[in-house]
Every structure is written in C-alpha cells, then in structure tokens.
Amino acid sequence: MKTKNYADNDETQADDEMQVSEAMPAYDKDGYYTYEDYYSWELEEGERWELIDGKAYKMSAPSRVHQEVLGEIFRQLANFLKGKKCKVYIAPVDVRLNHDTLDDTVVQPDVLVVCDENKLSDIRSVKGAPDLAVEVLSPSNPNHDRVLKFNKYREAGVREFWIVDPTAKTVAVNILTGGYYTTHIHGATGNIPLQAVEGCEVDLDEVFASVK
C-alpha cells in the first residue's frame, strides 16, 4: 500500500484543469449557473450534468464495466448499512456541496454515504458534504474526478473519497486530515476498511471480479 500527501494539489489545479476539456460545458461555455438554474433545465432522459464553481459539465454515459464495479461497491455498502443510521445512494443523486453559500457546485458521486439526516431534508438533493464519496473513473475523462472533484470534495469536507480505476484495478482512498487528503493506494485484492463508516469493509476481490 502506497501513501501520498496531496497538500499541494491546489498548486497544480490550474495546469490540470486544461486536461478536463473533454467534459463539455453546457449551453454558454462562459455561463455561470447555480442549483436553481440547474434544477430548471429541461433535460433528455438519461442526460446528466454537474456544476463546479458555476460551470456546467455534461457527463458521458458509463461503460458496462463501470456499472459492474459501481454496482458491486453499492451492493456491499447497502448490505452493511441496512437498518443503520447512515444511508447509501447510487448515482444519479444531486449533492449540493456549497448549498449554504453560493450553491454553484452540484455533483453526482457514483456512490455516496450520508450519516447526518439533516443533510437529507431536501427530497431533491443532499445538502452538504457526504461522509463518503466514490467515483469510478471513465477512461475518456479521468481528470474530472482526479482534479476538479478531488478539490471540491476536499474543500467541502468530504471525510473519505475513493477514486476507483477499473483499468488499473486500483482504489485511491483519500482520507481528510487537517483540511487535506492523505491518499492510500490499494490493489485489486483484499479488503478496505472504511474510515467514514465504522466496522464496514469493502472486498476488492468482488469489486474487480468482472474486470478482465
């Protein structure tokens, strides 16, 4: 298991954002949008967007492997959390990371766990940072999760953020400590204990079982 400290991630954000252009901005590329604007959009069935600092990004359709990996993570978490206080959700669920200020960052983690019921007061969305966010990388645009959402989750106070790479069969587990993420890289086998949910572990052998 490797450990990295991403305290300096902000310094490289400007350069890395240049690589995120594959996620096409919605409507006016220079437009600024809030959750109120976002919620009013008339979208085609299955069409998904995210807002990051008021800029809109269209999300591509996930691959079969993406969905198999995502589904297994959700299954394991849902089985453990059944009957418990914390709730687990699978995308698409709107998460308003800064709902109490600008309300201009709305993301849809692939899987999320919320343990504070006050954040679930709005039937349409989660208001505030989830305890756990999981993103399964898409080969067409990995930096959307690795750079933009990494920094937004950190700023919002997401306690634990997983970046799952089906191609490399790895999971980067980012644990928030002192306002910055410390990252632990896990391979394709073994169990990962969750920091955000005491007693819960995810079996990576099962997660990557369908990945050839």
Q: Which CATH number applies to 2-20+61-207: 3.90.1570.10, 3.20.20.70, 3.40.50.150, 3.90.105.20?
A: 3.90.1570.10
CA-to-CA separations, 122 to 20, 35, 98, 125, in angstroms, rounded: 31, 13, 14, 6
Backbone angles phi, psi at 19, to 5 degrees: -90, 0
For position 30, what pLDDT does the model report? 74
Provide the whole-model pTM. Answer: 0.87
In contact, 112 and 95? CB cutoff 8 Å? yes
Buried residues in 144-182 as b, exposed as e (16+ CB within 10 A): bbbbbbbbbbbebebbbbbbbbbeebbbbbbebeeebbe
The 10s digit of each residue's pLDDT in 114-144 is 999 999 999 999 999 999 999 999 888 888 9
For position 7, what pLDDT does the model report? 45
Domain ranges across the chain:
2-20+61-207
For position 139, what pLDDT does the model report? 83
> 10-residue block means of pLDDT along the chain (212 residues)?
47 40 55 94 91 94 95 98 98 98 98 98 97 93 93 98 97 98 98 98 97 91
